[in-house]
Amino acid sequence: MRRAISITVLSALAGLAQAQDNDSFNCSDFLTYGTDVDATRKAFKQSPEAMAWNWFVCLNQSDARGYNRQWESFKPSDQVYLANGANPGSYDSRMRLPDEVIRQANALGLNSNRVLHNLNATQQVDGLSLEMGGAAVPDTQEGHVVRFQLLMGQDTYNYIVKNNVYNMNGQDALSSSLNFPATAWELKAAWLWIGADMAYKKRLESDGYYVAQAYYPVGTGYRVGYAALSGLHVVNKLTSSWVWTTFENVNNSKYTVTKGQPSAPMKNQTGPTSAAIPVNTQFQASQPGLSKYELIGVEYQRITQVLANSQLESAFQDTSSCLACHDTAAYSKNSGYFNFAIPTQGGLTYPTTPLSEKDFTGYNKLDFVWSLKRAQWQR
């Protein structure tokens, strides 16, 4: 008697087989898929989850100087979409840190060779924020919001600058839809704020969090200190609808809570998916420095699907689809940005199935890159 094996299980087994070869994955030029994009696409489709993990491992390798991780060299969006709409210059250029940030960093003894991340965002797509809370969180940190940042790779940045869409003037002048190169990458990171609490920093490090140096504006001043990486979206355009992968720390429920009264530990409701679970096990065993992070899932097909990161789409996980949401990135000279929120009796929800192209009549598509909405008018 033959035993039927579901497609989901077969996918997971294929992922596990691929994951067993993770030590041989070549991180050289991985941002451009080495020398053969088609070969990378083929390997990706054999096991999207294993490829997602390989990218995550490569992104988290140390840079040439050994102070920062590879992904920390990506360009922050606040240095792309400038407040005055000006040309942001070269990809490698970085704004000078505010004097007050430098003063506080020196006083805290922070390492000047390491990046200081500007964690200037707290609102999620639904306009809400996620708070830190739980027995593991010090009283002084209770209620502090999880902070975010958007970053982009060089080819993403170069395309934006070349097409003059780093400001609203350029987007308003578009006569056709955008089409980013296959080597475009974007990241969205979620951070637990630590500040200068060294005991809290040590606790988070013992729970496998990557801790970086960071700051954020408060009124006319700044707070400077440490932050722990709790979630990371890793996105690229290997496929025409882009590839959407998301990772988070397995201990997030100890440090973040729901909005309800009483609050409850924040947990991921969408994964890890059945295909991700065996691949997580394999990579966590072979990558001890990343063993407390897990892949929640991967999206790349234009189908109805739900995928969320508990740190980035906290309150609307059941209506979160990275692909379907970002597929609505579009701008019209007459109507502005496309509104992807769907009114319901209970409030607003978001698409989990890609919309029809006819829904975008009169709009220029922005090729899934909603970060363009941060652009300002040049003045």
Residue 28 lies in a domain: no
Contact 375, 174 (CB under 8 A): no
List the domain range (segments joined by +) for residue 314: 65-374
The predicted model gives 3-9 an average pLDDT of: 36
Question: Residue 260 domain-assigned?
Answer: yes
Could you report the per-residue pLDDT of 58-109, keeping only the tens digit for each?
999 999 999 999 999 999 999 999 999 999 999 999 999 999 999 999 999 9
**pTM: predicted TM-score of the whole model, two decimal places:** 0.93
Q: Is residue 1 part of a domain?
A: no
Q: DSSP string covering 233-293, please?
A: EEEE-SSTT-EEEEEEETTGGGTEE-SSSS--B---SS-S-TTHHHHHHHHHHH-GGGTTE
Q: Is the pLDDT of residue 166 over 70?
A: yes
Per-residue pLDDT tens for 245-296?
A: 999 999 999 999 999 889 999 999 999 999 999 999 999 999 999 999 999 9
Q: With CA atoms as reference, report the closest residue to 56 among 248, 228, 242, 275.
A: 248
Q: How far apart are CA 248 and CA 225, in angstroms?
A: 22
What's the pLDDT tens digit per position in 106-155? 999 999 999 999 999 999 988 899 999 999 999 999 999 999 999 999 99
Residue 270 lies in a domain: yes
Amino acid 286: pLDDT: 97
Q: Assess if residue 44 is contained within a domain.
A: no
Which residues, other chains included, contact 99 with Cβ-Cβ below 8 Å and sequence gap of 6+?
none
Question: Considering the domain boundaries, does residue 333 fall inside one?
Answer: yes
Whether residue 24 lies inside any domain: the answer is no
41 found inside a domain: no
- pLDDT tens column, 174-219: 999 999 999 999 999 999 999 999 999 999 999 999 999 999 999 9
pLDDT tens for 243-259 read 999 999 999 999 999 99
pLDDT for 349: 84
Overall domain count for the chain? 1
Which of the four pLDDT bands, split at 50, 70 and 90, describes residue 343? confident
